[in-house]
Amino acid sequence: MRMWAQSHLCQKRPRVWSVLAVAFALIFLIAASSQSATALPAFARKYGLRCSACHESWPALNNFGLKFRDNGYQLMNDRDAPIWQNPGYWPVTFRITPIWHRVSSNQTVDVYTPGNPVPTGSTIERITSSGFDLSGLDFHTGGTLEKNISFYVLPSSDPTAAFHFESVMARIDNIAGSPWLNIKVGRFELNNLLSEKRILTLTANGGIYQTYHFIPVGDGNIYGQMGDNQFGTEYVGHSVDDRTRVSAALLSSNDGNVNLVTGGNNYSGFFTFDQGVDVGRLGVDRLGAYAFVGEAATYYRTNGGVPIPGSGIGNKGFSRVGFTGQFYFGPHFDVNVVTQHGEDNPWFGQGYGNPVSPSNGSEGATCTSSVPAPGCTLNNSPGTTLPAGSRSPVWNGYLVEARYVYSPQLIFLGRYEAERMSQQATPGTPSNLGNVSNYVIGYRYNPYMTSRSGFAYHGEFNLFHQDGTGPNNSAGNATNINSSELLFGIDFDF
């Protein structure tokens, strides 16, 4: 379920509220998004291969699984079309994870004096909750409709069983018999070498790549989300052995939302390239680069003060570029690296761009003309000017994920992510405001490995730190977020 981050009201409000709002939104957004795309026993059943053939440790892909995916979920032995399957074969896999977890974070809490039902003040307390819980449910269906025509449909629900379409795509593969020509249309995950949809972790902050979702504090650009599934069309080309891979996608800047609620004419592009190199005994290493460049609206025409959906203009630009690397050190150990240099237009930096109504009472409701609201979003209407000295928020981040694959059934991993602002949008803002450091360690143990179902004992611990976005202390200064999550679960799919 897409959650709109709370944004600024037209009046000036204390910075703390907007900061808090973004932080909450981020956490809610992350927690609410389900675990999408994973090992598909449906593929294993179709081809008789064990999960370990395509997955380094499911759900993360190895080179063979990456080629299978790049071929449009085809093995390319002329047995891919559905006519080769028993008519009873239905390419559906479901995945869900019952968990136990313990979440801990600092929050502002009202103070009560005895006898007085009205709070007399507030303080910052560490609130810890634990208990049994659930992840969302994914229904994956994907594969081939015919030889060289692939599809993927992923209805996905949050833990409350509210469904949305995480992924819906059709792909024409190997046009003119060439692996260099594949076109995909729909809503799909971006072609990141390190895929968030096949991430090995499940906690709220550790189960996503912070690098793919980072938004500076107060920034209204919700469109540069590399980790979200986006609407668009994608070209992919790869060599026959999948050593060289290149892609270019044209996306709508609507962060995967349906019904054209954002702009009249805002598009972005996502480009990737990577090259695999055979390094003898060590394996096959990959080096690559990506660029997510685009523009999104900052001005929505209004009717009675309410923004008209789909009327967004006033496009401003943004970019996320970086390098990717996958380094194998023999059959047991590998390291994945992603770097990012991000820049948003100063308008985004000041909070423009995100058409959300905070004043109609329901958190995260999209601005529509049927929802009465006095003022809606921070709107770049004609005549609006930026505060003096406004700058582009610029940041650099990187992600390092190390994996120890004891066997195809047991993997240990550790990940560190750092996002560091190098230029804040508003001069005078502390230079480290919004900086993120994220630590994850975990393991997954698959007690069996067949081609019928997947089952993993999952254990994970995550420490999330962000500068200056925590609750304010008694002196009115923003503290840092230091939240942790310990999670154990049984992750299974069929």
Residues that bind other proteins (CB under 8 A): 47-50, 52-53, 62-64, 66-67, 75-79, 102, 177, 240-242, 278-281, 283-284, 331-332, 407-408, 443, 445, 447-448, 450-451, 457, 459, 461, 484, 486, 488
User: Which residue number, 8 or 415, has a Cβ lying nearer to other proteins?
Assistant: 415
Q: What is the DSSP-derived secondary structure letter of residue 160?
A: T
- 63: amino acid identity, one letter: N
Cis peptide before 346 (omega within 30 of 0): no
Using the minimum distance from each CB to other proteins, give the nearer residue, 351 or 442.
Answer: 442
Distances in Å between the Cα of 262 and the Cα atoms of 2, 149, 319 are 14, 31, 19
CA atoms of 484 and 385, how far apart (whole Å): 40
The residue (of 79 and 301) whose beta carbon lies closer to other proteins is 79
CB of 351 to other proteins, least distance (A): 36
Q: Minimal distance in Å, beta carbon 391 to other proteins?
A: 39
Q: How many residues can be counted in the chain?
A: 494
Nearer to other proteins, 285 or 363 (CB): 285
Identity of the residue, 49 or 260, whose beta carbon is nearer to other proteins in the bound complex: 49
Q: How far is the CB of 52 from other proteins (least distance, A)?
A: 4
What gap in Å lies between CA 408 and CA 68, rounded to an integer?
Answer: 18
List CB contacts of 385: < 8 A, sequence separation 6 or more. none
| CA-closest candidate to residue 442, choices 424, 463, 426 | 463
- Least distance in Å: CB of 493 to other proteins? 17
| Helix (DSSP H) and strand (DSSP E) numbers for the chain | 6, 22
d(CA 454, CA 94): 10
Provide the 3-class DSSP secondary structure of residue 197: helix
CB 177 within 8 A of CB 147: no
Q: How far is the CB of 79 from other proteins (least distance, A)?
A: 6
Smaller CB separation from other proteins, 166 or 242: 242
Residue 82 CB, nearest approach to other proteins (Å): 15
Rounded Cα–Cα distance for residues 483 and 106 (Å): 7
Q: Provide the token pair at 225.
A: 């989300």
CB of 407 to other proteins, least distance (A): 7
Which tokens hold the place of 325? 């690397």
Residue 262: which residues within 8 A CB-CB, separation 6 or more? 252, 253, 254, 255, 296, 297, 309, 310, 312, 355
Beta strands in 173-219 (DSSP E): 182-188
Identify which of residues 66 and 421 has a Cβ nearer to other proteins in the complex. Answer: 66
Q: Judged by CB, which is closer to other proteins: 187, or 444?
A: 444
Rounded to whole angstroms, how far apart are CA atoms 281 and 27?
42
The least distance separating other proteins from the CB of residue 411, rounded to whole angstroms, comes to 12
Q: What six digits make up the tokens of 372? A: 């009465």
Rounded to a whole number of angstroms, the minimum distance from the CB of residue 15 to other proteins is 31
- Of 65 and 136, the one with the shorter C-beta distance to other proteins is 65
